[in-house]
């Protein structure tokens, strides 16, 4: 193990330089293309491309959400191995050390969040910190409800002298069932998510089709100030609809 490991942070997502550059290029490029479709003016399209910068906070939030989802699944696996070790009659400290070794077999990448957390937990155990305090710190940093509930249960169990093996097993089963239900929901709405993505492209495709038809139907909207205002309002409504549809499709258990 390393002598000192920086605890992973789950309140802020730090983008790597290459990720930031690629995301900015894609977001600004998409906004530039939308500007050309809706206004047919390079200056307005270039101005609209700057709004791609506003996508960065949304991207960070989405990546952070995915990171927490992965950590929840990894924590479920951790509790499984922990309960197995405790069932063999080992102490909680020894069980955590064995769990770390077992988890390395599943997640060999040392940069994996759960591996870092287990290394931190083992280090704190060697420094004689209490198990309750260690998991409480983990829960506070992760801001994940399942981990927070587990930390609370550990604290109550240690103080009241409850069956720690049964507590960990029940918590593991609860998280597993929750993950399975979430996966079932994702499978059920997979088709609807695809339809939502298609519908999000339809307005832009429709504008392109009307413009390419050569009928001149959209000329008043492209050449007059009032037309630009109408197109701007339409664009805002489309974006607002995309945001609402994204929230509707995100079902949390």
Between CA 94 and CA 97 the distance in angstroms is 5
Each residue's pLDDT expressed in tens, for the chain with a length of 253 residues: 445 566 777 888 888 899 999 999 999 999 999 888 888 888 889 999 999 999 999 999 889 988 888 898 888 888 888 888 888 888 888 888 999 999 999 988 888 889 999 999 999 988 888 888 888 899 888 888 888 888 888 888 777 766 777 777 787 778 778 878 887 888 888 888 888 888 888 888 888 888 777 667 777 878 888 888 888 898 899 888 888 888 887 776 6
pLDDT at 189 (0 to 100): 83
pTM of the model: 0.78
Helices (H) and strands (E) in the chain, counts: 11, 0
Between CA 208 and CA 195 the distance in angstroms is 20
Question: For the chain, percent helix, then strand, then coil, each to nearest 5?
Answer: 80, 0, 20
pLDDT at 1 (0 to 100): 44
| Torsion of Cα atoms, 65 then 71 then 76 then 78, to 10° | -170
For the chain, give every domain's residue range.
Answer: 67-178, 189-253
Contact 146, 178 (CB under 8 A): yes
Between CA 85 and CA 35 the distance in angstroms is 59
């Amino acid at each position: 193990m390393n002598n000192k490991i920086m605890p992973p942070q789950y309140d802020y997502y730090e983008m790597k330089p290459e990720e930031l550059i690629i995301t900015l290029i894609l977001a600004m490029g998409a906004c530039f293309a939308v500007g050309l479709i809706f206004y047919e003016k390079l200056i307005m399209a270039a101005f609209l491309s700057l709004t791609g910068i506003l996508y960065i906070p949304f991207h960070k939030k989405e990546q952070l959400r995915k990171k927490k989802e992965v950590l929840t699944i990894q924590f479920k696996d951790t509790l499984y191995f922990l309960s197995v070790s405790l069932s063999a009659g080992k102490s909680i400290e020894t069980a955590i050390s064995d769990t770390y070794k077992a988890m390395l077999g599943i997640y060999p990448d040392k940069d994996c969040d759960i591996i870092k957390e287990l290394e931190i937990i083992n280090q704190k155990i060697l420094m004689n910190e209490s198990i309750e305090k260690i998991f409480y710190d983990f829960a506070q940093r992760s801001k994940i409800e399942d981990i927070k509930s587990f930390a609370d249960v550990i604290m109550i169990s240690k103080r009241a002298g409850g069956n720690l093996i049964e507590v960990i097993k029940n918590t593991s089963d609860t998280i597993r069932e929750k993950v399975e239900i979430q996966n079932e929901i994702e499978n059920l709405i997979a088709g609807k998510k695809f339809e939502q993505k298609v519908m999000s492209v339809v307005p832009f495709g429709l504008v392109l089709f009307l413009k390419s038809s050569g009928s001149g139907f959209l000329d008043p909207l492209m050449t007059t100030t009032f037309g630009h205002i109408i197109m701007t309002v339409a664009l805002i409504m489309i974006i607002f609809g995309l945001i609402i549809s994204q929230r509707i499709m995100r079902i949390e258990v």
